[in-house]
Chain A
């Protein structure tokens, strides 16, 4: 049987048998559709990339205000386009490990305070100039300049100085950081000629595609850069195009009618409908993004740990995943970290919906009256519904939650990180250290739960300087337990990234670091002839 399936799947990869026929015959052989589909993609991978053609993506997250300057990127389209024309020193793999990119190797001093990156030789920028360690230093300087408006300013904050030393670039840090190489994957840190100091938005990088058309909010086109250093692995299509389609229905229609080959952000509500469309494959992958209910640990009534525990036990996580995410996600455990992170310990006890425990802690807290929760439809998709579900599950424990719907306009400036109890989301960070440093360290700008825990802070700084992985893993476990038990964050669910591809796309790699195959879909995939 398996021989026949192998044969059939190779026929599909060669384009001699339609996907539908294949699935039909596979079913006749008693194979489930899921398994048959996975066979197909491995067959397509095994056949090897097909070169040429124009690969098109329809994507949400672009606006006419976008720019090619990496320092300004924050939405999906400019940043995903950037991943095709620019490159960083390193690249995070789907398994969470680092791959060399413009740096070939790296290492640190014993105290993790001085990091040395060896810069790759023979890499050309799109304007024909050779990439040098000077360009790397200048790029880092631009993004760490206190006057810069770079989105990477926070990441660069811990770096004291960056210097060239022959073929290498040396980073000297203010405090030890074992995770520094991971920070170099940040999408703002594209290496640009001269660091992009003169022309930040020139769109010249070292990536597999060079920018030919850049119409913000409309479309972005790149053509293959013939002198790309890693040409066998990336950049199979002759041309790539991102068409900005912010409307979910229009995006799905464009995929169905064959105007684009892949789309991002298929709404959980319609995934099951899209799945039934012939020739369309849903590509969903568990990621680090999560939805949160945040309470300020230093503001009454949430300064009471029993009340926070009561609110945590009153959350029905399974129901949230089922209703809000339609199953395309996983339950959270009141900490921002899940198994998608390196050095995660999966032996932590999972907190469950328990109205009795919730009622017990609620009573113990001595709180009286209702709890005001502010939410908005921009907090995360389905946030209003989630707040109402929470209201109901909490009511069963005798806790009255009053849901206040705030306008989406100004939610991030007036409500989030200002009001004591609200809903929000996090996109996740490459490492646990980064996630914790961004939002749970007592001195963080975005400590949106007002979490001031000495033991946690001490562990965070200790783990940062610890180069022994086993010890770090244990420290991170302790920190996760502290946040889960004592913190102000309720994490009901981690959402999957849900993309969709047409049958013409080969070489899709599930990559939970970001949507669209970690952001690399357009240069990783090819058009099946």
Chain B
């Protein structure tokens, strides 16, 4: 690989790290502004002033903010996310399981939805403006427009309660056989696929159509290639960058934005974990989750950028 590409890639990664640092500051400041107090939230309505005072002292909530920030950052860099205020458990341990579950659900949904979306997109371009294109677009838009809790409940009612094909409760646990695990997540994966499918499919279609206007496509047509060959050999490779961008955006959504699906299907993922701890003002956990989410977003975007750079022949073969 040539130096300009390496340089560009290195720049992207460095930018990403800087961005992550900036986000860490934002997260820390944001959690400081949240209303309410950790101690009060843990003890809830049954708090006595004395228990509150004891708890606040134990947690070191009285130190200045910048000291707590650097203490926190130092911990993260050494792999120590601290302990959860509410349950006293090690955050890294419990976060790891939850993150793994989330990644499992997201990758299952991605394995189904990404190839499906791209194939449907290609198909729509091939038969553009015909009935096939219209049906694909119409169904895709309809499935995206329905809120995910609605599709979720519909699936639960018909597939889980009436037909009893798949369980409505998607609880997964360590040591669960792989087959059972897949059966457990069948319904949430279906919902997530329906949610992200249309976006990726429509973008694939638009990106390829954009390329189809180019002069070299006309050349390809004139030299007698079949329409499908033109799409796969000439249009698609040139449309990879925007497609990867939208795929990455949707992958990021699958990881950080599925809390509603998690709640409906009782899936033990990151979203529910984060919401529980926000409700309890468990600041260390909220900060750790926020940082993980930010890291996922930033790194997926870096990947998209790098793919765009690498797939661009003008950058790979500079004059």
Chain A residues closer than 8 Å to B251, beta-carbon distance: none
The 8 A CB mask of B270-290 against A (1 = contact, 0 = none) is 001100110110100000000
Contacts of B44 in A (CB 8 A): 74, 412
- Among B51, B167, B173, the most chain A Cβ lie within 10 Å of the Cβ of B51
Given A63-B276, A149-B54, answer yes or no on A260-B264 (Cβ-Cβ < 8 Å): no
The digit string for A201-216, where 1 denotes a CB below 8 A from any CB of B, is: 1000000000001011
Stretch at the interface among B35-43, B108-116, B308-316: B35-43
Complex CA distance for A275 and B300, rounded to whole angstroms? 48
Task: Flag if A65 contacts B48 (CB, 8 Å).
Answer: no
Give a binary string over A66-79; 1 marks a CB under 8 Å from any B CB, 0 the rest: 11010010100000
Size of chain A's interface in residues, with CB distance under 8 A? Answer: 45
Q: Give the contacts of B11-61 with A (CB-CB under 8 A).
A: 35-37, 40, 42-46, 48-51, 54-55
In the complex, the answer to whether A250 meets B272 with C-beta atoms within 8 Å is no
Which of B45, B87, B161, B171 meets A65, CB within 8 Å? B87
A111 interfacial by beta-carbon distance below 8 Å = no
Contact A154 to B46, CB < 8 A, known contacts A58-B169, A259-B168 = yes
CA distance A400 to B167 in the complex (A): 51
**B residues touching A (Cβ–Cβ < 8 Å)?**
35-37, 40, 42-46, 48-51, 54-55, 84, 86-89, 94, 98, 153, 156-157, 160-161, 164, 167-169, 171, 173, 263-266, 268, 272-273, 276-277, 279-280, 282
B contact patch SS: helix
Chain A residues closer than 8 Å to B279, beta-carbon distance: 63
Q: Could you tell me the distance between the alpha carbons of A215 and B168 in the complex, rounded to whole angstroms? A: 19
List 15 additional contacts besides A72-B87, A218-B171, A259-B169; criterion CB under 8 Å. A64-B87, A64-B273, A65-B84, A65-B86, A65-B87, A65-B276, A146-B54, A151-B46, A153-B48, A201-B88, A216-B89, A217-B272, A219-B171, A258-B164, A409-B36
The reply to whether A67 and B87 contact each other, CB–CB distance below 8 Å, is yes
Report A-chain residues with C-beta under 8 Å of the C-beta of B54: 146-149
- Taking CB atoms, residues of chain A closer than 8 Å to B153 are 249, 253
Interface set, chain A 34-67, CB cutoff 8 A to B: 58, 63-67
Q: Are A254 and B168 interface neighbours, CB within 8 A?
A: yes
From A58, A66, A148, A150, give the contact of B87 (CB < 8 A).
A66
CB neighbours (8 Å) of A63 from chain B are 276, 279-280
* Separation of A217 and B86 alpha carbons in the complex (Å): 13
Residues in A neighbouring B40, C-beta threshold 8 A:
413
Nearest CB of A to B153, in Å: 6
Residues of A near B276 (CB, < 8 A) are 63-65, 217
20 A-B pairs with CB atoms under 8 Å apart are: A58-B169, A64-B94, A65-B86, A67-B88, A67-B89, A74-B45, A149-B55, A150-B51, A151-B43, A153-B48, A153-B50, A154-B48, A213-B173, A217-B272, A243-B169, A247-B266, A250-B264, A257-B167, A260-B169, A413-B37
Q: Flag if B266 contacts A243 (CB, 8 Å).
A: yes
Closest 8 CB pairs between A and B?
A: A65-B86, A63-B276, A67-B87, A218-B268, A253-B168, A64-B276, A253-B156, A256-B161
Known A65-B86, A65-B282; judge A215-B173 contact (CB<8 A): yes
Assess whether B36 is in contact with A148, with CB atoms less than 8 Å apart.
no
